[in-house]
Amino acid sequence: MKPKITLKDIANELSVSISTVSKALKNSDEISKDTKDKIKAFAKFYNYRPNNIALSLKNKRTKNIGVIIPDIVHHFFTTVFRGIEKYANEKGYNVIVCISDESIEKEVINMEMLANGSIDGFILSLSAETQLKNEYTHLKELLDQGIPIVLFDRVTSEIECDKVVLNDNEIAREAVEHFISTGSKNIALVTTEKYFNVSESRRYGYLDALKAHNIKIEENLILTLPHDMENDSLITEFFQHNKVDAVLCVNEIFAIQCMSIIQELGFNVPNDISIIGFTDGILSRFSVPRLTTVAQHGELMGERAAKLLIDRMEWVDEVEEPFKTEVINATLIKRGSSIN
């Protein structure tokens, strides 16, 4: 008995993309005849059958919602899940959550597993690897079958569906302008890789604020940290070699790391260097000094995402309602890590 194979297995064996395999099996004109014949022959030999994600979902209503989040390290994602579950339970739905662990493979596997358990729709925030590879075939296949998806926080313009996002650009600009209003001029940004849409939006907000106040943009004051590595040595070297009087960090963990290292280097927070982070989590509230932070209102984001999904699943009109993108307005909470 031949092992069950997936689109990804075929793609790996034939050294083509998952998207190419999917299109070839659908006889798309975008794929050459030779490539289609090769892919179809391989699929037939191994008795490939289409993933039953969409079929399982369409056949019956279960009142279950599948939620996929990238990790549980960041407090933000746990608050979003809390909001999803709260709203869904009120509407009579159950919620099943899985962790992609920043992996596109796990994101796909989680969807397959949830489909086998019969889920009516999905809410998810894209994994780092999904955004890095810009690969969304697994989501497009669901949507092509009429299965509703809501993306939150980490989203992409490649997928047409309902979305809930933060006003990342505007709130980052507000945070930098707070630094400027208290006299800071050498303002740094600690961010992560550019393929994260949220980090890029916050970077643009940072740049917009500097430009608006005629402050020269110094590329050496932008520190890009890998999301999946220990960063202490990179942060230490950055603050040892650059004159900084304020720093905006794109997440809470980076902000707490920076604060600890800055203090170890003998600087005073906030008198020497002010710090603002994102996510008003437990770390922010109990750090010394307490962290000035951007409250992302994760629970509200989760509630909005659940409402969008349930409204879409229960829509009975023949004319499909246009997809919506809802924007959550963040709040800057001023505490002891910045001069107020």
The CATH class of the 63-166+298-328 domain is: alpha beta
Structural domain spans, the chain: 7-50, 63-166+298-328, 168-296
Task: Tell me the C-alpha to C-alpha distance, in Å, between residue 124 and each of 79, 91, 131.
Answer: 14, 19, 13
- According to DSSP, the residues that pair with 294 across neighbouring strands are 278, 332
Task: Give the per-residue pLDDT at 23.
Answer: 83
Tell me, what's the pLDDT at 22?
Answer: 81
Query: Measured between alpha carbons, how far is 151 from 164 in angstroms, rounded to an integer?
Result: 6
CATH architecture of 168-296: 3-Layer(aba) Sandwich (3.40)
pLDDT values of the chain reduced to their tens digit, one per residue, 340 residues:
456 678 888 888 999 888 788 888 878 888 899 999 999 999 888 888 765 455 444 556 788 999 999 998 889 999 999 999 999 999 999 999 999 999 999 999 998 788 765 789 999 999 999 999 999 999 988 887 778 999 999 999 999 999 999 999 999 999 999 999 999 999 999 999 999 999 999 999 999 999 999 999 999 999 999 988 889 999 999 999 999 999 999 999 999 999 999 999 999 999 999 999 999 999 999 999 999 999 999 999 999 999 999 999 888 665 578 999 999 999 999 999 999 8
The DSSP result for 282-333, as a single string, is HHHHHSSSPPEEEE--HHHHHHHHHHHHHHHHT--SSSPPPP-EEEEPPEEE
With beta carbons less than 8 A apart as the criterion, state whether 120 and 91 touch. no
Same topology, domains 63-166+298-328 and 168-296? Answer is: yes
Which DSSP symbol is given to 156? -
pLDDT at position 316 is: 60
Beta strand 331-333 with 292-295: parallel, antiparallel or unpaired? antiparallel
- Dihedral sign computed on CA atoms, order 122, 125, 127, 131: positive
